[in-house]
Structure 1
Amino acid sequence: MIWNHDQGLILKRTDFLGERAWRMDDCYKLIFSPYGKGLYQTPQGDVSIEKEGFLLFNPGHKHKQLQATKEKFLVEIRPELLMEAGMQRAATRSPVEFATLSYKHPHLNQWAHFVRDFFFYQKGEGVDLFLDHSLMQLAVLLMEYGPGSHQAEWPDVHGEEPVHRAMNAMKESYREAWSLDAMAAVARMNKYQFSHAFKKETGFAPYSWLQVYRLFRSQSSLMDTEDSILSIAFDHGFSSMTTYNHLFKRIYQKTPSQFREFYKMNRR
């Protein structure tokens, strides 16, 4: 089933879930995997979506669906609608680029399940009005909780106390060299239980989440200072420029230098 609107569309299907052709769209695209793993290919490498996880593609980002489990739920949003949501949020970064990451957030999850259920039970009456409001709601949620260039750090998640306790500790000391044992000790769990609980809640392995958090904290320095890329990388906890460059390219399809230049050219 597909519902079109002048500001985007919502698609829900249970067929054609295998490999598809390469795509490059002129809109923002959110893909939700309600039942199990999804897999997408990009020029920077494959990205898997965990059950109850999300993946965002920016306009012009080349990608290809390799696998979806049981159902594909996809939402397209026109850039103009996201810009309007950004103005309501008083966002200062333009244009918005979302990180190419599979992640989980309870508010986005709640939105996706509500919309899916509505279209399952609704017989057509009131769909256009509902879709109009739903797309704007999603745009606002993405500006608030979607990880990307408009965020100074990773969007807040308030979940299970042990995971949240470890996450807060890492945020406070993200420049330090954390081991899995140290993270698990803060959570008061053994490291195997901690790794499982952390990934179930966030969609990330603990150390991968920490590296992404470091990258997000570094974005403001790239945009607002003339500090060298090397010093920014080291100041934010990265052990090498190679690691920093590789992660940045995978998430934003740009090196840190290209990211800095792009946002200086497009600053409001």
Structure 2
Amino acid sequence: MSSTKLLLENNHGVLLFKKDFNQESNWRTDDCYKFIYSLQGNIDYQTNRNQITLNDKQFILFNPEDEHKQLAIDDSKFLIELNSSFINEISQSLYPVHHDIQFATSTQKNTQISSWVNFVLDFVRLEKDDIRSMEIFLEHSFTQLAILILKSAIGTHTQDINLNNYETIDPQIHKTIQALKEDYQHSWSLDEMAKIANLSKFQFAHYFKDILGISPYSWLQIYRVIKSQEMLKTTNKTVLNIAMDCGFSSVTVYNQLFKRLYGMTPGAFREMVNK
């Protein structure tokens, strides 16, 4: 493929940098985890559950056997395929999980991951003629990326969303997020969120999405799903009671969001983790 530059392939995965290539409109599934990062412009994907648009500096993770297709791309993307066994071996050393990780099918944004992508690209561009240096560098870089995404990307292993770095980077956003976390069952309005950030609701909505990649309400709903995961794992509460305890307006809304994120119902998730 002349439009695709294969930078490295090793036992852990494959790193690709794609620019100016034909559209890939066919449905596909892969037996690996796919980390896709938008370097510039938008990238549109479709899954069998929803349609997703990646904006600048946003990423998404597709799980093994997730059916998806790329609909459109403005400029370029950075893609890494990570072997399933590699990711799950690291996850089991970091977390008390005994099942294969499922990442949420949702766009995400993280300053540490953006810094990592830029660092790797800079090194590869400078050292592209030194194959041995690249091999050693990227061997360790795959491990770094695996740890970063397990720590920051939303998945079935997630117990919290750690955004402590925003305490210094963006105190307004950090203060609002802390308030949402502390009272996530509350039926928050945009006005209430904006008041904590000391912004108008229109400024706040735009600013929040620019910083975190999703709307404030979407972030809150995903956080509620994360809190529900622990209840599904450790309690005998019904799915209905868990949905209500986590602040969802109905069990239908909860079930639909959970399935859109993970491709399974809360009940199927409970069965998977309790095996």
Q: TM-score range by the shorter chain?
A: over 0.9
Give, in whole Å, the separation in 2 of the partners of 1:229 and 1:42: 25
Aligned length: 265
The CA RMSD over aligned residues, in Å, is: 1.3
Select between 67-76 and 230-239 the one with higher mean Cα deviation: 67-76
> Any idea what the Cα deviations from partners look like across 1:4-29, whole Å, max 9, x if unmatched?
11210110011225343111101111
> Any idea what the Cα deviations from partners look like across 1:31-83, whole Å, max 9, x if unmatched?
00011211110000101112100100011111101122210210011122112
Q: Does 1:164 align with 2:171?
A: no
Out of 222, 225, 232, the residue aligned to residue 222 of structure 1 is: 232
What SS does the corresponding residue of 2:29 show, helix, strand or coil?
coil
Out of 83, 91, 101, the residue aligned to residue 78 of structure 1 is: 83
The one-letter code matched in structure 2 to 1:47 is: I
Give, in whole Å, the separation in 2 of the partners of 1:157 and 1:62: 34
Can you give the 5+ residue segments of structure 1 that lack an aligned partner in the other structure?
Answer: none
Can you give the 5+ residue segments of structure 2 that lack an aligned partner in the other structure?
Answer: none
Contact 2:28 2:69 in 1 (8 A): yes
The one-letter code matched in structure 2 to 1:158 is: N
5 Å matches for 1:155-194? 155-156=162-163, 158-159=165-166, 160-194=170-204
Q: Does 1:11 align with 2:16?
A: yes
Match of 2:221 in 1: 211
RCO higher in 1 or 2 (8 Å CA, sep ≥ 6)? 1
In the TM superposition, what is the alpha-carbon distance from 1:172 to its structure 2 partner?
A: 0.4
Select between 155-164 and 202-211 the one with higher mean Cα deviation: 155-164
In the TM superposition, what is the alpha-carbon distance from 1:224 to its structure 2 partner?
A: 1.7
Select between 116-125 and 38-47 the one with higher mean Cα deviation: 116-125
What SS does the corresponding residue of 2:40 show, helix, strand or coil?
coil
The one-letter code matched in structure 2 to 1:10 is: L
5 Å matches for 1:84-233? 84-125=89-130, 126-156=133-163, 158-159=165-166, 160-233=170-243
Out of 61, 67, 72, the residue aligned to residue 72 of structure 2 is: 67
Give, in whole Å, the separation in 1 of the partners of 2:32 and 2:162: 22
Select between 78-87 and 1-10 the one with higher mean Cα deviation: 78-87
